[in-house]
A and B are shown apart, each in its own frame.
Chain A
Amino acid sequence: MPFVKNCKILMRQEVAPDHYRIGLRAPEIAQAAKPGQFCMLQVAEGLHPFLRRPMSLERIFPDGVSILFKVEGEGTRMLANRAPEQELSVQGPLGNGFPLDRAVARHLVVAGGIGVAPCPALAEALVSVCGKAPEVILAARAQHLLLCEEEFRQMGCTVHVATDDGSVGARATAVEMLERLTPAPGTRVYACGPMPMLKAVAEVAQSRGAECFVSLETQMACGQGACLGCVVESRRKKAGEKMVRVCADGPVFDAQDIDWATHNFAYDR
């Protein structure tokens, strides 16, 4: 059950250049929220920018949530400039969330860049619900863009750091790191990051017989299933079911449900 609430900003941190964390007081939303779900945040009081911005829940606390985001344009810039004690209109929780299953033998979280945003809440839930801290592949372009490492370690996760330039951890991509960790049948991979990374992660998981769930991000208008603007193509056959809504059918999908071959990566930035 989603809510629309005015939520007080409790804290705002610049965690890396152009990367921010905002903590919100939102008891009703937090109590209803599951890891992998998201909220739609209204960034401006006026009518421009017009649409809310979808933001993954980084952490879910008893009386609030935190979000982690990168400044990509005008809307996220305005959000980054909001100060503590101000209120934000928050709609949520929305979407399906990650599956949590105690029977899974090995949990492997793959976070690429700002795709780390929903992963701390996931790792925390895997510890508390499944009784098992996941292994986390934390990949970024360089050391200064590596986020949440300390949070994962505090939860008891084994963290495998990979950077494109080798400034910290292995000089490797998230996908190369995943191959090194040899996922196998019984492993469940959870991935969030750029679309090309997700496609490659899905291929590695599938070729090794591991399950794979991906959290997708697309442009949204309504955030809750009505406008059909945020769809991606699935492998479902029926005309009425072919396009799946990232907001309402996702944002988490079984990677085998997505028709990666038809996705036009040229539009992704």
Chain B
Amino acid sequence: MTAKLQVNLGGLVMKNPVTVASGTFGYGQEYDEYFDIAQLGAVTTKSLSLEPRPGNAPPRLVETPAGMLNAIGLQNVGLEDYLAAKAPFLREKNVPIIANVYGNSADEYAELARRLEQAGAADAIEANLSCPNVHDAQTARGPVLVAQVPKKVYEYTKTIRSATTLPLLIKLTPNVTDIREPAIAAEEAGADAVSLINTLLGMAIDPETRRPRLANIVGGLSGPAIRPVALKMVWDAVRALKIPVLGMGGICNASDAIQFLLAGATAVAIGSMTFRQPDAAVQIIEGIADYLARHHIGDVNDLVGRMQDEG
């Protein structure tokens, strides 16, 4: 018997519970040389902004214990080029598209969502309210991310919600005291799902040159180093929400992915691991199917939130 792998992520039907994390998979074509990307439950695009963005000055990367810091700064081709040059390839592949968007204001997010829906170039919108490498507002104490302020999460989500009928995912930052607060704000404003976690803020200094290793000084930490933190935040959010969670953060193999499902994530995204193993996501899909067969579970949805924590 082959187990049922299909999941419904806030209205986005995925044939299996695995997508890729925004920013780790380009616009899909980059990895189609290694495997047929139509095997994925969905492709999540690099963040799209209305206008092209050059991103941050280099160096943008530094490796850290079991992970990496990045400060890319949302370099992207912009909406027009995405619609003309990137979306047609994904449409031809017939794989669901989660279009990740970034705006300088709530209205920009809304416009991105509206135009992507009109163009038929997305099956779901993931609003990146949590990129650590660009700043919505700079205060004396440093940058504030939209996703760090629940009231703003509510306002932004409400505005984007009114602009699109597509499933709306709100991507949240782990750089908060209590992940439930922004997650609940997103739900109350009409989000269909939340994606978590984005990267954890971090930094590294080169003792020889005494300079920061990133030109941006701070960056976002990803990779297996952050997985336990991500798992705990997913578990926290799931118990506070009625809408589903797309879980991500350091997932490297099927057993990592299954931990997120057991903690309550409806689906998972594979991020930095793709850099190390280009076909990591499809290996994880196969590994989940093997796990279900081995445990005689007929439907992957029967795993979701089923951590056995009693007795």
CB closest chain-B residue, reference A221? B275
A232 interface residue, CB < 8 Å from B? yes
B211 interface residue, CB < 8 Å from A? yes
- Give which listed residue, B46, B61, B224, contacts A229 with CB less than 8 A: B61
Contacts of B175 in A (CB 8 A): none
Q: Which 4 A-B pairs have the closest CB atoms?
A: A240-B52, A229-B61, A226-B26, A239-B52
Can you list 21 pairs linking A and B with CB atoms under 8 Å apart?
A2-B33, A4-B279, A47-B66, A47-B223, A47-B224, A47-B252, A50-B67, A218-B58, A218-B59, A220-B61, A222-B30, A226-B25, A227-B72, A228-B60, A229-B61, A230-B60, A233-B57, A240-B81, A264-B57, A267-B213, A269-B206
List A133-150 residues whose CB lies under 8 Å from chain B.
none
List A193-224 residues whose CB lies under 8 Å from chain B.
218-224
A230 to B62, CA, bound (A): 10
A238 interface residue, CB < 8 Å from B? yes
A136 to B130, CA, bound (A): 50
List B62-95 residues whose CB lies under 8 Å from chain A.
62-63, 65-68, 70, 72, 75-78, 81
Q: Are B34 and A4 in contact (CB under 8 A)?
A: yes
Encoded as 1 (CB less than 8 Å from any A CB) or 0, chain B from 138 to 163 comes to: 00000000000000000000000000
Q: Are A222 and B274 in contact (CB under 8 A)?
A: yes
Contacts of A37 in B (CB 8 A): none
A243 interface residue, CB < 8 Å from B? yes
Residue tally, chain A, CB below 8 Å to B: 40
Q: Are A227 and B24 in contact (CB under 8 A)?
A: yes
Encoded as 1 (CB less than 8 Å from any A CB) or 0, chain B from 18 to 62 comes to: 000001111000110110000000000010000111110111111
- Give which listed residue, B51, B215, B275, contacts A267 with CB less than 8 A: B215
A242 to B119, CA, bound (A): 27
In the assembled complex, the CB of B202 is this many whole angstroms from the nearest CB of chain A, namely 14
Known: A47-B66, A219-B59, A266-B211; 9 extra A-B contacts, CB below 8 A, are A50-B67, A52-B275, A219-B60, A226-B24, A227-B61, A227-B72, A231-B60, A239-B52, A267-B215
